[in-house]
Amino acid sequence: MPIVLFRVDERLIHGQVVVGWGERLHAEQLVVIDDTIVASPWEQELYCLGVPAEMEACFVSTEEARRLLPGWRADRARTIVLVRALETVRALAASGGLREQPVNLGGIHHAAGRERVLPYLFLGAGEHELLRELSAGGVQLSAQDLPGSREVPVTELLAHA
């Protein structure tokens, strides 16, 4: 089964992902791609507290994810892939690993230099440019916080730039 959700969300594993998306998509596995958390068993343990018993969770580095991505697409397990930042998406897309992969922008929050685009999505000038770059490279980007919410296409997001 292909990846059922590839999501950019600064909070990574939390209720919207596990309950909102996980239950709706019948996810069996959560994969977190994060170079910091992969080196911290303590943080991994904390994140796993929010994972239901019927779901598996694993944590991998960006480099390891490049190798494993094709396998997750071919695996029978229904997988949600979570990354914290658009830079991780860029790194995975650089080798063509995300060509024609839908990527959900689900939670990029307020920070210095970012402006509100949607209630759950704040972007700075560099992030707008990165979205253009990713889109031009074949990554299918859209924003949607929950499965029942309206999916906002990247073209509409970039209109705010």
Q: What is the DSSP string of 57-92?
A: EEEE-HHHHHHHHHHHHHSSS-EEEEES-HHHHHHH
For residue 160, pLDDT over 90 is answered with no
Lowest mean pLDDT among 7-11, 19-23, 74-78, 102-106: 74-78
For residue 137, pLDDT over 60 is answered with yes
pLDDT tens digit string along 35-65?
999 999 999 999 999 899 999 999 999 999 9
Q: What is the largest CA-CA distance in the chain?
A: 42
For residue 161, pLDDT over 70 is answered with no
Cα 137 from Cα 64, distance rounded (Å): 21
Cα 99 from Cα 92, distance rounded (Å): 10
For residue 24, pLDDT over 60 is answered with yes
Question: What DSSP element (H or E) covers 121?
Answer: strand 121-123
Cα 121 from Cα 143, distance rounded (Å): 8
